[in-house]
Amino acid sequence: MDCPLVSVIIPVYNVEKYLNKCVDSVTGQTYRNLEILLVDDGSTDGSGAICDEYAARDERVCVIHKENGGLSSARNAALDVCKGEYVAFVDSDDFVSLYFIELYYQAIVQFDGDIAAVQNEAFFLEGREDEAQLVSTAQARSMEQIDPHEAIRLMLYQNIPTGAPWKFYKRSIFDDIRFPVGWLYEDAATIHRLFMKANKMVLLDADIYAYRHRPNSIVRMSFKPDKLIAAKIGQQIVEDVSAYEPGLRAAACCRALAMNYNVYLQVPWEDKQSRDILWNEIKKYRMTVLRDHDKAMRKKNKLGALVSFAGQRASWLIGRAYTAK
């Protein structure tokens, strides 16, 4: 079987506690023709030295040391120099099955796909890595070709993981696309655009990626003004998707409402200016969400749209009580 080069991009920033488990899971892949790019994004702990140690003993490992610029900057630095025909991303506090690349490659070759995506993630809480049960053979529960329109629909309704690491891409898909530097939620701003470029996509049902839930992760940390970028990203998603396929506009509005509502619930009540920015976005999308009867929509999104008619204070209190469960 022909084994083209696959570039695996791992952004690294102050993760010395987790880095060995992550990189070991990639260097140990059953698919061997890899270019492993460790991007040390200005780490101030021992992460950079650990990266160099891997490069010294595995010729497939390439280390990029750069000033801290954030996740998008790190990924883009690797995309600019990677040589693989295919690209995959792994976050440095996560780890993958040893069959991660082999299964993705099987799927994309079998169906001549441009992007392969997993339908599920094996997540685990901090300190409980053993809970992530990943596949131990090169056998998926299922693989199926899917129309890119349908893939976008499922992703917008969050029926498949929305992040970059749960995908496998032809490198050419990134020819004119990069992650937005300096933004949080960079995946939400980017992945739908990659899907829109695909001619064929593949859905893979297999537990191959273990995602670590950390209390101080970007998604879960407390509110800061940078998170208001969710309003702009929501608008961008609706505009992009509506131009691509007007029939998917309702799904895009659902995704935009979910993003804005999630950040809205993190804003301290005293921060009226930030609340108002996000509240205006919620009001913009809520009627479309309520009128949308697509079965793929998550119930909590419909509930959030409905509760919003009770007003800002009630929505904030009810939403925070619901998410605290």
Residues whose CB is less than 8 angstroms from the CB of residue 128 and which lie 6 or more positions away in sequence, other chains included: none
Contact 186, 102 (CB under 8 A): no
Residues whose CB is less than 8 angstroms from the CB of residue 125 and which lie 6 or more positions away in sequence, other chains included: 131, 213
Query: Looking at residue 127, what is its pLDDT?
Result: 60
Query: Looking at residue 122, what is its pLDDT?
Result: 64
Query: CATH 3.90.550.10 region(s) of the chain?
Result: 6-213
CA distance 90 to 23: 9
Q: Is the pTM of this model over 0.85?
A: yes
CA distance 35 to 91: 16
- CA distance to 6, 32, 82, 106, 155, per residue, from 3 (Å): 9, 8, 17, 11, 29
Per-run averaged pLDDT (10 residues), the chain, 325 residues: 90 96 97 98 97 98 98 98 98 95 96 93 62 82 94 95 94 97 96 96 93 57 90 98 98 98 94 97 98 95 96 93 73
Query: Looking at residue 186, what is its pLDDT?
Result: 96
| DSSP assignment string, 1-19 | -----EEEEEEESS-TTTH
Query: Looking at residue 218, what is its pLDDT?
Result: 37
CA distance 178 to 189: 10
- CA distance to 26, 132, 153, 301, per residue, from 159 (Å): 26, 20, 9, 13
CA distance 267 to 259: 13
What is the CATH code of the structural domain delimited by 6-213? 3.90.550.10
CA distance 75 to 92: 12
CA distance 237 to 257: 11
